[in-house]
Structure 1
Amino acid sequence: MKIAVLIARILLGLLFVVFGLNVFRPFMPMQLPPGDAGALLGLMFKHGWFYFIGLLYVVGGLLLLVGRFVPIGLVLLGPILVVILMFHITFAPASIGMGLFCAALEVFLIYACRAHFQALFAPKINHQ
């Protein structure tokens, strides 16, 4: 289990760091998809949202790669993965494969770190 967690953590971290850095220094050419999906992405690029999202990609990915504060990295990347999946479900269902793969890695890592998330689901706060 330790090796599987290590592989999943490094793979997910590398994916997010590489694609996050690609936002700031485009080294992988990307074409906007046709239709509404391209219009939405074009607006996000035009108004600078992708720089903020790219920063979250890099920070979350680095936290996973370094291996410290992994639960915080998973918390940062979780909502991003939900948005990625929702984008592909609604606008580009043919290219959802990588999003599903990353979401599967995220869910596996959250399950592996479930002890760190137990306090979030406690019905009461212990005041000491």
Structure 2
Amino acid sequence: MKTKGIVHNACSYTALIYGFGREGLWRDLLGCLNEMESDGCKPSVITYTIIIKFLCGEGRIAGALEFLAKMEREGCEPDMTTYNVILHELCLQDRVDEVVHLLDMIENKGFSPNSYTYAALG
């Protein structure tokens, strides 16, 4: 696309990241994320949530928590969708202490649990 003069933006990079994640192409996903950042495009909460969702889908909660920390370091505030994805995986892995910690963090940031939060906990 670049050779044809098409300039990527956050949406096009996020779409590529989604496609790579869906196919389990982690090397390509991370390469795309690195290229996105080197091109000066900041990943959005949607971009990070997609990555976190695919990591959780593979049971890789440690990686998901690393991306949660990275997005916060980068100044990209997670939303309830991001937290709900992580809560769901923590519950599936029966990691109760971390669920409680994350719920406290959510409350401290001023968020309120929603129906998806309760479904994840259920």
Scaled to the shorter chain, the TM-score interval is 0.3 to 0.5
Q: Which has the higher Rg, Structure 1 or Structure 2?
A: 1
Question: How does the TM-score come out when normalised to structure 2?
Answer: 0.34
Structure with the higher fraction of residues in helix conformation: 1
Q: Which has the higher contact order (CA 8 A, sep 6+)?
A: 1
Question: How does the TM-score come out when normalised to structure 1?
Answer: 0.33
